[in-house]
Chains A and B, each alone.
Chain A
């Protein structure tokens, strides 16, 4: 065993994939000598050179479209969008081209889009958004959202080897966190299999990305009060493993979905609908969503905190469901 940061395991995974497959290359803004805005690619430029660790101008739409063209021609580009908010500049290429290549044209598009969503750093309303909801409703784009280093490595390997566009979310609060992992890189993790990261009988907490960590902390607090929460970490939103969620909901009869991002139109609503479709007869209480208020993420520390789900809120909601 050893201890690594989330950033470090991503870097090691990218390096391993670059060594394994000559058609893999990285492309993005300031990912070369600078090493990326969050330092994920630091040192890779020195090892792999400018042809495989490509700095681009600030042109998200062009770099995304170029990656898609190269992918269709047989390369396996991994692009970095510096903040998830900036992906809005590339949405046309992802939605109207990448997502259509297999279902409409019958082509493959092995493309990975790495990007950090989420708040918690006080970066303000255009550097803190969780926009996976924009893509969850677009057929043809896979979405991976790991909550820890081992999963991030396993899912990233799968993403790079996949023949479809994959949006890969690296929550920015995870980057500096340290995790215990094995000496070897983890094995690739198949998409579409949620993980039950904690077993419990009283309430099911569904989460992904950084929210899984809050759910874990909440579950520990709940256990002190005699409530056993089960936690399902989705790992991928598309494909979505709803069966694991439904199976848990049938056992606990109580479900809370925790989502960073505005409650209205969020992915939690989709999960709630699917759970209700498949398990309504088993539910003891209405399905609850704990999400952000419908407001842009503010900058001041206390205002930002008020706009992101917290551990005490999860604990309170779970107690209300179980004891209320």
Chain B
């Protein structure tokens, strides 16, 4: 993936999430959503290292992963608006969208719920003998679910081509990792299953991309699963209406200095040909995509409740 393309994607995710937070305040979007502001380098770094045949599962905080994988922001936005044109025709909302045509298999809103599901996609790939790698995002909170341990043991036993990517963003809702993890290094848990465990700076696009590319290469050669821990920071609240009483504004200001988008901009500016004007063009493109997505969503028809009839079963 071209670095400018990555930059534009990170901006698209940032603007998408900022728009969601604004739309909630304005009462134009209902329900709930968990934004990933500050974690964009993980989503885009991972997507940049994948091949079209690969699969991805996400978490409740999944808009960024979906957009990085190639989702149409308009259809994703329409799902949040509860419209017929949304990925799940308004039935799923923020946490329940899938698009297998781009190898995106979503989440279900349950912390850790995708962990065995992703291993199942990997088992399918192994049965078919395909070169598909499945990446499964989850959070530091989900790493404490029992299913994480059950599945990593089984995936390692069967050498399934699944890459577990824990986004350690410092907080499981309000619980700081220092209060939730007996061992602060989640990557260490790989040792228990005899699989590679790697820890990277999750706010460094290049570091994430290169780590995933290396692990995926080993996996395609039959190396079995791996665990990648990406250290990042959830700059936004847990979900809409989070007063963030569990951390200080000073801590947040400090974290913003490590904004992954600023860091990628600084990287791009190492090239003398790249200045603020060049970056502004990409910024405008991303902004325009989100504005168009909101327009598309808001002008889309509502889903017809009658369509729920006879659609429970396949």
Contact = CB atoms under 8 A, between A and B. Distances in A.
Interface of A: 25, 51, 56-57, 59, 61-75, 92-93, 96-97, 100, 102-109, 139-140, 142, 163-164
B115 A65 contact: yes
Given A62-B147, A66-B123, A97-B108, A107 B98 contact: yes
Contacts of A74: 124
9 shortest interchain CB distances as A-B pairs: A69-B120, A65-B116, A73-B124, A62-B150, A59-B150, A163-B314, A69-B117, A66-B120, A70-B120
Contacts of B117: 65-66, 68-69, 72, 93, 97
B209 to A, nearest CB: 25
Contacts of A25: 127
A136 to B, nearest CB: 14
Contacts of A65: 113, 115-117, 119-120, 147, 151
B146 interface: yes
Given A69-B117, A70-B120, A104-B92, A164 B314 contact: yes
Interface string B133-163: 0000000000000110011011001000000
Given A102-B311, A105-B88, A64 B116 contact: yes
Given A104-B88, A104-B92, A61 B116 contact: yes
A102 B127 contact: no
Interface of B: 55, 88-89, 91-92, 96-98, 100, 105-106, 108-110, 113, 115-125, 127, 146-147, 150-151, 153-154, 157, 308, 311-314
A57 B157 contact: yes
A57 to B, nearest CB: 6
B313 A75 contact: no
Contact of A69 (B124, B147, B157): B124
Contacts of B96: 100, 104-105
Contact of B118 (A69, A92, A93): A69
A108 B154 CA distance: 24
A68 B147 CA distance: 14
B154 A59 contact: yes
A136 B259 CA distance: 49
A100 B314 CA distance: 11
Given A57-B157, A92-B147, 7 more contacts: A57-B150, A62-B153, A65-B147, A67-B120, A72-B105, A72-B121, A75-B123
A103 B113 contact: no
B150 A103 contact: no
B274 to A, nearest CB: 41
A62 B124 contact: no
14 contacts: A25-B127, A51-B127, A59-B153, A61-B146, A62-B116, A70-B123, A96-B108, A97-B108, A102-B312, A105-B106, A106-B89, A109-B314, A142-B313, A163-B313
Contacts of B105: 69, 72
Contact of B119 (A62, A104, A106, A107): A62
A56 B154 contact: yes
B113 A73 contact: no
Contacts of B115: 62, 65
Given A62-B147, A66-B120, A140 B312 contact: yes
Nearest to A62: B150
A111 to B, nearest CB: 10
Contacts of A140: 312-313
Contacts of A57: 150, 153-154, 157
A75 B125 CA distance: 10
Q: Which of A25, A57, A64, A66 has the most CB of B within 10 A?
A: A66
B123 A96 contact: no
A254 B113 CA distance: 46
A70 B151 contact: no
A73 B311 CA distance: 20
Contacts of A73: 55, 120-121, 124-125
A66 B151 contact: yes
Q: Which of B119, B308, B314 has the most CB of A within 10 A?
A: B314
